[in-house]
Structure 1
Amino acid sequence: MAKKAKAYWKENLRYLFILLTIWFGVSFGAGILFKDVLDDIKIGGFKLGFWFAQQGSMYVFVILIFIYVRLMNKLDKKYGYDS
């Protein structure tokens, strides 16, 4: 049982690391590092770098939450923790 729980948490942490890395890349990368490059593109009259800094990273975070829920439901079934 302890080996199963350890494998479960290892996979869970791997999912967390991947999803948080994506969010960091979008929020920090697109909103700060690549802002000047993205500002050449406009969406709805706003520069794309500004859009990512203000709204894009929040949208991506919400999408990643839904992805995490789906991954965790599959993980729960895989290890028999679903009810």
Structure 2
Amino acid sequence: MSSPSTVVEHGGSTTPVVETKVKRRWVSYIWDTFDKSPEERRLLFKLDSAILTFASLGYFIKYLDQININNAFVSGM
């Protein structure tokens, strides 16, 4: 049984408050999903992968369009 670290008084009664500290790994300072539940980690992974996919495709399409405009200008269109 853990000993209470703080006692809070409410109208004459005392309630022990036990402070719980979650031990954080050093990786959680860089990648904060390691201390979350597996369901939340899976959701964040899906969200991150969807955003990264759309951003990469958008950048690639922008690059192709920019190259096509430059080629059209060089060829005299």
- Structure having the higher helix fraction is 1
Q: Which has the higher strand share?
A: 2
Greater relative contact order (Cα 8 A, min sep 6): structure 1 or 2? 1
TM-score (norm 1): 0.39
Larger radius of gyration: 2
Structure 2 length normalisation: TM-score?
Answer: 0.42
